[in-house]
A and B are shown apart, each in its own frame.
Chain A
Amino acid sequence: QLHQSGPGLVKASQTLSLTCAISGDSVSSNRAAWNWIRQSPSRGLEWLGRTYFGSKWNYEYPFSVKGRISIKPDTSKNQFSLQLNSVSPEDTAVYFCAKEILHSGPNRFAPWGPGTLVTVSS
């Protein structure tokens, strides 16, 4: 299971920070990647990036947010986090964390966290 936490209101130009706590699995698992996905009426479901452990920690982000985003694992707390810098009202969305199943056929997201509505105020 995945449990999300973080503020639901962020001011424009500031940093959005969310955390996803993992139970029943390990953030260091070599059979999983840990993702953030957001959903808004204007953009639909948008993949924001992932982290996963192979022989080292790996990070992947789409071009649309690269340079503004950071996804980091925290092995001591078995969780991972999202930081999105310099937010604008266009970043208002429901943010989901999701486990990506690896090495068992094509990848897929299961389970998802419950979602956090983050509103960026101008």
Chain B
Amino acid sequence: DIQMTQSPSSLSASVGDRVAITCRASQNINNCLNWYQQAVGKAPNLLIYTASSLQSGVPSRFSGSRSGTDFTLTISNLQPEDFATYYCQQSCETPYTFGQGTNLEIK
């Protein structure tokens, strides 16, 4: 199975800050990488697919990038509704696997 290693596990930031969350795949997954946001008590919601494509309706302050097997989710100008947990997921092959999550908290 492809392992997804996500870091950091938690992150504190303030409204207006810019933050980055990284995810490393255990093997080459090309651009088969998705990012999800999960609010407390809710289902995950797709933010970014194919490493850098913005899902319809998602604000442009969210962006994704790739360097080899390393992927980054960047959130600029943090808004109060952005404080949530974020997950990466590889969709290159089954079994699909997820990162362990990054809990973004208000400083």
Q: Quick one: CB contact mask for B81-93 with A, threshold 8 Å, 1 for yes? A: 0000001010110
Chain B facing A: main interface SS = loop
Report the Cα distance A105→B91, complex, angstroms: 10
Report the Cα distance A115→B33, complex, angstroms: 23
Report the Cα distance A115→B89, complex, angstroms: 18
Would you list which residues of chain A between 46 and 62 have a CB under 8 Å from chain B? 46-47, 50, 60, 62
**How extensive is the interface on chain A, given as a class?**
20 to 34
Asked if A108 meets B87 with Cβ closer than 8 Å, knowing A47-B96, A63-B95, the reply is no
Q: List 20 A–B pairs whose Cβ atoms lie within 8 Å, in order of A's numbering.
A: A44-B101, A45-B89, A45-B98, A47-B94, A47-B97, A62-B1, A62-B95, A96-B43, A96-B44, A106-B49, A106-B92, A107-B32, A108-B46, A109-B36, A110-B45, A112-B43, A113-B43, A114-B43, A115-B42, A115-B43
